[in-house]
Amino acid sequence: MGHTVLSEKPASQKPENLQKVMWALAWPAVLLNSLQTVNSLLDNWFVQQLPPSALTAVGASVNVVFLLVSLSFALGTASTAFVSRAFGAGQAEEYRSAATKCLVVSGLAGILAAACGILGAGTAASLFIPTDNQAAIRDLTLYLQLFSLGLPFIFVIQALAGALRGLGDTRSPMVISGIQILLHIVLNYLLIFDNHEILGVRFGGAGLGLAGAGWSFSISAAVAALLYMAWASYTPLKSQWRLSLPSADWVRRILNVAIPAAMMSIVRVTSLMAFSLVLKNVPNASDAIAGMRPGFSIESLAFMPAFGLSIAASALVGQSLGMGDPLRAKKVGWIAAHWAAIVSAAVSLPLFIFADQAALLLLPDQPAVAAVTASYLRFICATEVLFGYGMVLIGAMQGAGDTRRPFWLAIGTMWGFRVPMAGLLALPLVFGIPGLAMGADGCWLAMSISQAVQGLLAMLIWQQGKWATVKI
């Protein structure tokens, strides 16, 4: 399979080579995120061929799915922070031990998340879908229950992928998670529909509808988790998986990094839930909710390079601090952020111009939903450059082990700004306060402005440099 890191100690890098090192780590993450975007777009294409209730259910699922998966990212963040610091300091036993302990804690957290997802599926469906759309409520309940079965495997994947990235290995996650995505696409095709045709040969499928999408997610996650565990023993982690509960001190250290990252995810998702409740009360609410997920999917074309650069920056910042070189860490963050802004601008401009065409290409059978999606794209692309800055610099802070500042930043921009602004812009009346009644466009405008504010504040916090003093 191959991986970036060939030795157990980091190679010293001259400052003038930082951009080359950055892109060497970033491009596999960008390619993987591109595959994830294709996967998401195909999900929407598959689901839009089902009854309209299925598309509404998938749109409403964004809140819960993002919350549950984001919790796994929080533990992956901890894994990257511990492994990259120890790797930068040349402490092989420390990063191997850290990877194993993060894996155990992540696996247990995944089981707990799965239980919450299964038990809370019905409540979530009733909360985020208009009560007059009972078909969508039933579809979403079953989908979330089946989706939740795969969460323990997703948590394992994120812990191991985070550890590998902490070593500077982004190629292994690209290959293994790429296999997971391809398997997911194939299973979606086979499990969602009841009839298929390939090269003129017709054959039957499972015909499970939206439930097939839930099964395909969980099955592909289980396969990928097994591949990650098998591969890790051939990397510098040299993991043999003699798993046991870590000491109380290690649990405390892991949670000190993971809990603020998890809380940031909760802040983001609960604010998105509140945002969706506002959207639930605008005219043509079902179309607006249904348009949100394909909008996210198309938008990801603009921010996927920033996502890859964020991963590269988190690893290199942690390694730089492990080497005792905070100036190198700071430079890494700015280099990655500037490149993210440049690429985001190059992609978001054509998306802004051709928003209608992009939405109709993805949703040819749902013109009303496509119109909402196009409007979302025009608003959000206007501030995508600043979103790229925020994404990279927040990731860089987390790579340093500083998850508290990103947490407070999320509270301020999401709950202090985005949610109340969405209500005031979208609705005619909010808690007795007159609003502008812009409908769904008011929600999109609030989201666009708030991501610009987050980017500007992230730049200020990064420049101050207090993230470099965090002890983990």
Q: How many CB atoms lie within 10 A of CB 435?
A: 17
* Beta-strand relationship, 201-204 and 195-198: antiparallel
Residue 4 pLDDT: 43
Residue 48 pLDDT: 77
Residue 145 and residue 122: Cα distance in Å, rounded? 9
C-beta of residue 79 within 8 angstroms of C-beta of residue 102 = yes
29: CB partners within 8 A, 6+ apart: 165, 170, 173, 174, 307, 308, 309, 311, 312
Residue 430 pLDDT: 84
Residue 187 pLDDT: 93
Q: Terminal CA-to-CA distance of the chain, rounded, Å? A: 32
Residue 456 pLDDT: 97
C-beta of residue 115 within 8 angstroms of C-beta of residue 299 = no
Q: Give Cα 372 distance to the centre of its chain.
A: 23
Q: For residues 364, 365, 371 and 375, what is the CA-based torsion angle, rounded to 10 degrees?
A: -60
Ramachandran class of 207: left when φ > 0, alpha when ψ lies in -120 to 50, beta otherwise: left
Residue 462 pLDDT: 97
Question: For residue 14, with 0-12 CB atoms within 10 Å meaning exposed, 13-18 middle and 19 or more buried, which class applies?
Answer: exposed
Q: Find the helix or strand (DSSP H, E) in which 429 lies.
A: strand 429-430
Residue 373 and residue 371: Cα distance in Å, rounded? 5
C-beta of residue 314 within 8 angstroms of C-beta of residue 401 = no
Per-residue pLDDT of the chain (472 residues; tens, 9 = 90+): 544 444 565 654 444 577 888 888 888 988 887 888 788 778 877 887 888 888 888 878 877 888 888 889 899 999 999 999 999 998 988 999 899 999 999 999 999 999 999 999 999 888 888 888 888 899 999 999 999 999 999 999 999 999 999 998 999 999 999 999 999 999 998 898 887 565 556 666 678 888 999 999 999 999 999 999 999 888 888 765 667 788 899 999 999 999 998 898 889 878 888 898 899 899 988 888 888 878 988 898 888 889 889 999 999 999 999 999 999 999 999 999 999 999 999 999 999 999 999 999 988 888 999 999 999 999 999 999 999 999 999 999 999 999 999 999 999 999 999 999 999 999 998 878 888 999 999 999 999 999 999 999 999 999 999 999 998 8
pTM above 0.75, yes or no: yes
Residue 58 pLDDT: 82
Backbone φ, ψ for residue 201 (5° rounding): -100, 120
C-beta of residue 236 within 8 angstroms of C-beta of residue 164 = no
148: CB partners within 8 A, 6+ apart: 68, 113, 114, 115, 116, 117, 118, 121
Residue 125 and residue 54: Cα distance in Å, rounded? 12
